[in-house]
Amino acid sequence: MNIVVCVKQVPDTATERKLRSDDKTLDRDAADGVVNELDEYAVEEALKLKEAHGGEVTVLTMGPGKATETIRKALAMGADKAVHLSDDALHGSDALSTSYAMAQTLKKIGFDLVILGSESTDARTGVLAAMLAERLGAAQLTLANKVDVEGSSISIQRLTDYGYDKVEATLPAVVSVVEKINEPRYPSFKGIMAAKKKPVETLSVGDASIDAAQVGLGAAWSEVVDFAAAPPRAAGTIVKDEGDGGVKAAEFLASKKFI
């Protein structure tokens, strides 16, 4: 099975994240880049499926040059190779252009199964997997906390408000995972060393047959009009429980008319 797992580099949530004042896009230099947490779960699931069914796991990352750090991490976990879609023309792409660029790349490199995280920690749009399924005409199997493959049949448990749905489809498919699905492995020392030698193919927009007029800030289907730092939350009142903590909390709720 040919599995492609989409891994995004995002700013570390532990550092202060900002938008750039010049073009209102994410300030990627202001914070350390890390693997989007959920994408480690996506990689883990890809590796498990490979271990069970054979095949190959390819990492796909769209992002600037420094995203190679992220790619190495995924390779160190055990992925076989990577494709890095990297081109200045892609800077400022919105969800529409990102999904277009990634779909073009996926068509070029081929796949039976594409696995993503269900959401990134920076933009958090949660739309990419659905958009890829739409663009690729592949089955959408998203928000999965369990994936089973048998031959060309695939089924998942899709998390819902009331519990979960059992969903069935035939490959090719686009899966997105939630963090309940597995426990990502840590890269071993051996894995880290091996990752340095694994092939990473860097593709430009042209290499992946992406129409440059459909990507980047200029082509975006949406725009940031303006932005501002949110006013800091006023410091709250913190009391130590002296046996009357519940009563004090009730007084606070009453003062705010909740009771």
Partner 1 sequence: MSEILVLVEQVDGEVKKVTLELLTLARSLGTPSAVWAGPGFGADAKAKLAEYGAEKIYVAGSADVVDHVVAPKAELLAQLVGSAAPAAVLVAATAEGKEVAGRLAVKTDSGVITDAVGVGEGFVADQSIFGGGVNVHSRVTKGTPIIAVRPNSTAPAPAPAAGAEEEVSVALSDAAKASKIVERVKQEKGARPELTEAAIVVSGGRGVGSAENFSIIEGLADVLGAAVGASRAATDAGWYPHQFQVGQTGKTVSPQLYIAAGISGAIQHRAGMQTAKTIVAINKDPEAPIFELADFGVVGDLHQIVPQLADEVSKRK
Among positions 156-185, residues that touch partner 1 (CB under 8 A) are 157-170, 173, 178-180
- Helix, strand, or coil (residue 197): coil
Contact between 64 and 87 under an 8 Å Cβ cutoff? The reply is: no
**In this complex, which beta carbon is closest to partner 1, that of residue 52 or of residue 247?**
247
# binding residues, ligand FAD (CB under 6 A): 31
Closest to 91 measured CA to CA, from 252, 220, 250, 243: 220
Is residue 127 part of the contact set for ligand FAD (CB under 6 A)?
Answer: yes
Q: Which residues pair with 62 in a beta bridge?
A: 85
Is residue 11 part of the contact set for ligand FAD (CB under 6 A)?
Answer: no
Q: Which of 95, 194, 212, 217 binds partner 1 (CB under 8 A)?
A: 95
Query: At closest approach, how far in Å is the CB of 68 from partner 1?
Result: 24
Among positions 5-44, residues that touch partner 1 (CB under 8 A) are 13-14, 16-19, 37-38
- How many Å apart are CA 71 and CA 8, to the nearest integer? 9
Is residue 62 part of the contact set for ligand FAD (CB under 6 A)?
Answer: yes
Torsion of CA 47, 116, 141, 102, to 10 degrees: -120
- How many Å apart are CA 226 and CA 97, to the nearest integer? 21
Residues contributing to the site for ligand FAD (CB under 6 A):
6-8, 26, 36-39, 42, 60-63, 93-96, 98, 116-117, 119-120, 122-128, 179, 222
